[in-house]
């Protein structure tokens, strides 16, 4: 955006309150209504689904559950709500693997492709629904043979290979809960998660391919297994053929045990509220929380959101969620949602820069991907690398783009829309959490006029409100994002710790779910996520969101990515320190720093002008791509760094420390 188009600066008053929880400064005025072309075939184009759900959200979800899912027995009660404990579709029985596989095969879709899988070295596999069903039944019998029964837990520690969804679905088929541990996590993380869940079996692989190298998983698992008394058997998929040790009687090669496995396995009739899986959220300080998701409500909401948020046309779409299955995004939108809806997906093992920085775009061209779902961190990385990579490929098959995981800065949104979507694909920014299980706040692409950087509105059947410190509703302006009624895919608790569940999510505001995000509502009622409230800065008594300052920086044409923190300051309480990564071909200089500081002041106000700009080639991120502002605060305040084990690349911090000590600061 040229400077001339900028709103005329600094309105530092908040319309909602004189002392708001978080102030709202950033103004983004571009709007993108759904095109006529998109609306023509869209599943939802008007308001009626919202109206229907608003009238009776329980009835609405019950209709979705009947429409999208096959049940053995229908429920007696849609919802039992004993705050904060919910039970959905009480008395209903179903099987998740049956819903994801058998029913599609029975409907004649056996030959339909479930996954086009692409290994990082370039090897590929095409897996149909019938083949997936065969493999899952066999592996279900393998697990049974190892003594796994209904109600047990199975740990899974794998790279992005087809045996990962096979293992998950095999668990659901026999009524065991899985606990997938992201393959990038350490032995210690794996050990703690196995022990918390008391898993009986571990499914792993020798290794996986990542950025041209083998990440050895089995050797890491072996370290964990030295101290996991509940594990009786380990199944190892051979992927990379690195040297591994196999313990006699305990460890088994997948290909060996599958050879003789019986090919049929009847799905268990599970209760709607039986545990489907545990997924641990990785706290850096506290013990990880085993987030519990159950069966009927979860499957209903993931199928619903996958269908309507992505406007899924299962006969023609080729859908690609580029997350790792080790995160909730992969659970809900690579495995359960797409398979429940009979979609054809792409699954990719490796990183976007292997062998070159156009790998994703070559995958989109090769498979004719129509829907791409990824994270802002990836988009900003692609901005940094430059447009020559996407431009080298024909991506005209794309018709819809999605974003998840962090607030997407308006400029990154527009870059995604223009350079990946060719200016014709709606971008759906989807807000949700491991705890919510499924998308909660998002546009419906045929119905919602988009604003770049806004997740827009709660989906039909979901109710969200922004509140201030006193739990009073905010209608325009910033505050805390809360959810005010139960939803089908909501977490049922923290494994083994109901009190911690209540304390963590339900104690800050009475009767409301709050999990740490700030948000603002604009004059049109659009929701804008403002990041974690722990990150909110206090500058001369103004509570400024890091997200807004970052968005103002990314708004400058030279900037690809920015992370902003508040560091202690004698005059202003906190001063804004900005770490900035420039786009390819742009030079860092003191003048550029000054220009950026001014840009922020013009864009959102003098109060938000960074005191210091530190240019850096990279930012410290968690392995799921979230910027670790806590570390940047430590650097800015000259403290020793705390725990850095969750960092994706620890060397980034050393580089930033060096830059921080040599960057000029405004007097
Ligand atoms: O802060 C929000 C951010 O990610 C958090 C949830 O992280 P996790 O449990 O790892 O799940 C990520 C995938 C669902 C949220 O509390 N977040 C997620 N999506 C968005 C977001 N922040 C802003 N906009 C989003 N679309």
Smallest CA separation from ligand 1 atom 22, residue: 406
Confidence of residue 283 (pLDDT cuts 50, 70, 90): low
The alpha carbon of residue 607 and the mean position of all alpha carbons in its chain are separated, in whole angstroms, by: 32
Q: Percent of the chain beyond pLDDT 70?
A: 95
Smallest CA separation from ligand 1 atom 2, residue: 406
Residue 80 has pLDDT above 70, yes or no: yes
DSSP codes of every residue in 359-424? HHHHHHHHHT--EEEE-HHHHHHHHHH-THHHHTS--TT--EEEE-SSPPPHHHHHHIIIIITTT-
Cα 406 to ligand 1 centroid, rounded to whole Å: 5
Cα 434 to ligand 1 centroid, rounded to whole Å: 8
Query: Per CATH, which fold does 36-519 belong to?
Result: Rossmann fold (3.40.50)
pLDDT of residue 285: 57
Confidence of residue 644 (pLDDT cuts 50, 70, 90): low
Q: Is the CB of 329 under 6 A from ligand 1?
A: yes
Three-state DSSP at 613 gives strand
The answer to whether 247 and 202 are in contact (CB under 8 A) is no
Three-state DSSP at 234 gives strand
Q: Percent of the chain beyond pLDDT 90?
A: 85
Residue 578 has pLDDT above 70, yes or no: yes
Residue range 467-491: average pLDDT?
97
CATH superfamily of 536-662: ANL, C-terminal domain (3.30.300.30)
pLDDT of residue 3: 32
Residue 625 has pLDDT above 90, yes or no: no
Smallest CA separation from ligand 1 atom 14, residue: 433
pLDDT in tens, 579-616: 999 998 899 999 999 999 999 999 988 999 999 999 99
Cα 517 to ligand 1 centroid, rounded to whole Å: 9
Residue 667 has pLDDT above 60, yes or no: no
Q: Is the CB of 93 under 6 A from ligand 1?
A: no
Cα 641 to ligand 1 centroid, rounded to whole Å: 25
pLDDT of residue 650: 73
CA distance 332 to 487: 15
Cα 248 to ligand 1 centroid, rounded to whole Å: 43
Q: Is the CB of 305 under 6 A from ligand 1?
A: no
Residue 13 has pLDDT above 50, yes or no: no
Burial of 253 (0-12, 13-18, 19+ CB in 10 A): middle
pLDDT in tens, 390-432: 999 999 999 999 999 999 999 999 999 999 999 999 999 999 9
Ligand 1 atom nearest to CA at 547: 23
DSSP codes of every residue in 492-511? -EETT-HHHHHHHHHSSSTT
Cα 331 to ligand 1 centroid, rounded to whole Å: 15
CA distance 545 to 22: 7
pLDDT in tens, 501-547: 999 999 999 999 998 999 999 999 999 999 999 999 999 889 999 99
Token pair in block for residue 394: 């024909």
Nearest by Cα to 456 from 402, 379, 505? 402
Q: Where are the domains of the chain?
A: 36-519, 536-662
Query: Higher pLDDT residue, 636 or 144?
Result: 144
Q: Is the CB of 328 under 6 A from ligand 1?
A: yes
Confidence of residue 141 (pLDDT cuts 50, 70, 90): very high
- Orientation angle between helical segments 57-68 and 48-55, nearest 10 degrees: 120
Q: Is the CB of 532 under 6 A from ligand 1?
A: yes
pLDDT of residue 484: 98
CA distance 532 to 399: 31
Nearest by Cα to 513 from 442, 476, 458? 458
Confidence of residue 643 (pLDDT cuts 50, 70, 90): low
Confidence of residue 652 (pLDDT cuts 50, 70, 90): confident
Cα 412 to ligand 1 centroid, rounded to whole Å: 16
pLDDT of residue 15: 38
CA distance 352 to 314: 26
| Residue 336 exposure: Cα atoms within 13 Å on the Cβ side | 33
CA distance 167 to 164: 5
Ligand 1 atom nearest to CA at 515: 16
């Amino acid at each position: 955006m040229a400077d001339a188009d900028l709103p005329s600066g600094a309105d530092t008053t908040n319309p909602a309150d004189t002392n708001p929880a978080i102030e709202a400064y950033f103004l983004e005025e571009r709007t993108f209504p759904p095109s006529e072309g998109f609306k023509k075939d869209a599943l939802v184009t008007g308001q009626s689904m919202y109206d229907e759900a608003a009238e009776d959200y329980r009835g609405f979800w019950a209709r979705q559950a009947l429409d999208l899912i096959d049940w053995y027995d229908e429920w007696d009660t849609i919802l039992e709500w004993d705050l904060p404990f919910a039970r959905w579709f009480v008395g209903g029985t179903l099987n998740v693997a049956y819903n994801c596989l058998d029913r599609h095969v029975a409907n004649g879709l056996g030959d339909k492709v479930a996954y086009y899988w692409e290994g990082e070295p370039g090897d590929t596999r095409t897996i149909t629904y019938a083949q997936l069903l065969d493999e899952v039944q066999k592996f279900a019998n393998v697990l049974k043979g190892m003594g796994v029964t209904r109600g047990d837990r199975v740990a899974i520690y794998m790279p992005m290979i087809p045996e990962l969804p096979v293992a998950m679905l095999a668990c659901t088929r026999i009524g065991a809960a899985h606990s997938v541990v992201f393959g990038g996590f350490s032995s210690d993380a794996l050990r703690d998660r196995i022990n918390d869940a008391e898993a009986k079996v571990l499914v792993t692989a020798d290794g996986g391919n990542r950025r041209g190298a083998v990440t050895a998983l089995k050797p890491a698992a072996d370290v964990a297994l030295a101290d996991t008394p509940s594990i009786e058997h380990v199944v190892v998929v051979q992927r990379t053929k690195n040297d591994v040790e196999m313990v006699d009687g305990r460890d088994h090669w997948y290909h060996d045990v599958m050879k003789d496995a019986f090919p049929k396995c009847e799905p268990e009739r599970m209760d709607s509220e039986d545990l489907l899986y545990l997924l641990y959220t990785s706290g850096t300080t506290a013990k990880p929380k085993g987030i519990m998701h159950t069966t009927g409500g979860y499957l209903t909401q993931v199928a619903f959101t996958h269908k309507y948020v992505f406007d899924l046309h299962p006969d023609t779409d080729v859908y690609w969620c580029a997350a790792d299955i080790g995160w909730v995004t992969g659970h809900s939108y690579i495995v359960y949602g797409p398979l429940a809806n009979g979609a054809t997906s792409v699954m990719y093992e490796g990183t976007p820069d292997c062998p070159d920085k156009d790998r994703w775009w070559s995958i989109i061209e090769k498979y004719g991907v129509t829907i791409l779902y990824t994270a802002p961190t990836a988009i900003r990385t692609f901005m940094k690398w430059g447009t020559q990579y996407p431009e080298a490929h024909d991506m005209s098959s794309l018709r819809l783009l999605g974003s998840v995981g962090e607030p997407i800065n308006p400029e990154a949104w527009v870059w995604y829309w223009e350079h990946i979507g060719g200016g014709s694909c709606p971008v759906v920014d989807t807000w949700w959490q491991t705890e919510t299980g499924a998308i909660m706040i998002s546009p419906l692409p045929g119905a919602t006029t988009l604003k770049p950087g806004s997740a827009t509105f709660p989906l039909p059947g979901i109710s969200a409100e922004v509140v201030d410190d006193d739990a009073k509703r905010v209608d325009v302006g910033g505050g805390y994002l809360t959810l005010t009624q139960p939803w089908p895919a909501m977490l049922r608790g923290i494994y083994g710790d109901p009190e911690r569940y209540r304390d963590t999510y339900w104690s800050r505001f009475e009767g409301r779910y709050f999990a740490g995000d700030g948000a603002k509502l604009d004059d049109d009622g659009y929701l804008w996520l403002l990041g974690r409230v722990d990150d909110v800065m206090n500058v001369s008594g103004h509570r400024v969101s890091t997200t807004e300052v970052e968005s103002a920086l990314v708004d400058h044409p030279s900037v690809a990515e920015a992370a902003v923190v508040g560091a202690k300051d004698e005059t202003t309480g906190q001063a804004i320190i900005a770490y900035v990564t420039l786009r390819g071909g742009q030079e860092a200089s003191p003048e550029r720093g000054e220009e950026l500081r001014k840009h922020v002041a013009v864009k959102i106000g003098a109060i938000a002008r960074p005191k210091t700009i530190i240019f850096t080639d990279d930012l410290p991120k968690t392995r799921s791509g979230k910027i670790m502002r806590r570390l940047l605060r430590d650097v800015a305040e000259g403290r020793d760094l705390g725990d850095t084990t969750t960092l994706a690349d620890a060397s980034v911090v050393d580089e930033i420390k060096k830059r921080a000590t040599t960057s000029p600061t405004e007097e």
